[in-house]
């Protein structure tokens, strides 16, 4: 019998990996490597990734992912609001300067809209893990070319780290004291 020792250099939380070697001195020894990956369901929302959606793309995303919404009625209201998107912008600016290099430039833009600003999802954060509920904010930028949308979530940002810590602690405990029979 041989006991396996899980040493600190065998796990890397930043990379999301745990590596277990049955015999580190044998180049042909068995290596078991686990990788923590974000769930495919979460990836499609591109939350906190600065991915911009057009109105058409956002509507399609909301329409085909109702299953992940905590409340289907909220999803339907959100979908209807973004289908009939109405906005009003007001811009004001000024620019001052002199011949000595002094400058002052300012632009104030106010966007008034009927759109809901947030919703809640219940979705697995990491592959193979339980679903977790968190709030998502829908952000908007209106330009001359139309509107662009993106999603942000402070809760998800925090959950990614706390859930990773929980999963790593659980998996490391599972590996402690393993016995291998040759």
Confidence of residue 112 (pLDDT cuts 50, 70, 90): low
pLDDT surpassing 50 at residue 181? no
Residue 163 or 99, more confident = 163
Please state which of the ranges 14-23, 90-99, 164-173 shows the lowest mean pLDDT: 90-99
Whole-structure pTM value = 0.75
Percent residues over pLDDT 70 in the chain: 82
Q: What are 66-108's pLDDT values in tens digits?
A: 999 999 999 999 998 888 877 666 667 777 888 777 887 776 6
Maximum alpha-carbon separation in the chain: 85
Nearest to 121 by CA among 43, 54, 35, 16: 43
Q: What are 20-69's pLDDT values in tens digits?
A: 777 767 777 777 788 899 999 999 999 999 899 998 999 999 999 999 99
Please compute the mean of the pLDDT values over residues 135-164 and round it to a whole number. 90
Give the dihedral sign, CA 66/49/130/117: negative
Confidence of residue 180 (pLDDT cuts 50, 70, 90): very low
pLDDT surpassing 90 at residue 7? no
* 48-55 long-range contacts, CB within 8 A, separation 24+: 48/151, 48/152, 48/153, 48/156, 48/157, 50/150, 51/150, 52/141, 52/148, 52/149, 52/150, 53/148, 53/149, 53/150, 54/146, 54/147, 54/148, 54/149, 55/82, 55/85, 55/146, 55/147, 55/149
């Amino acid at each position: 019998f041989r006991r396996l020792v899980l040493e600190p250099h065998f796990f890397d939380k930043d990379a999301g990996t745990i590596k277990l070697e049955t015999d580190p001195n044998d180049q042909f020894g068995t290596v078991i490597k686990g990788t923590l990956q974000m769930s495919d369901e979460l990836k499609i929302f591109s939350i906190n990734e600065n991915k911009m959606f057009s109105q058409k793309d956002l509507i399609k995303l909301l329409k085909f992912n109702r299953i992940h919404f905590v409340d289907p009625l909220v999803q339907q209201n959100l979908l209807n609001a973004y289908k009939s998107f109405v906005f009003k912008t007001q811009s004001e600016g000024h620019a001052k300067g002199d011949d000595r290099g002094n400058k002052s430039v300012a632009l104030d833009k106010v966007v008034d809209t009927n759109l809901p600003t947030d919703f809640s999802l219940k979705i697995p954060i990491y592959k193979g893990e339980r679903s977790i509920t968190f709030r998502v904010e829908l952000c908007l930028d209106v330009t001359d070319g139309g509107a662009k949308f993106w999603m942000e979530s402070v809760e998800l940002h925090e959950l990614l780290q706390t859930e990773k810590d929980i999963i790593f602690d659980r998996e490391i405990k599972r590996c402690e004291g393993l016995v291998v029979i040759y």
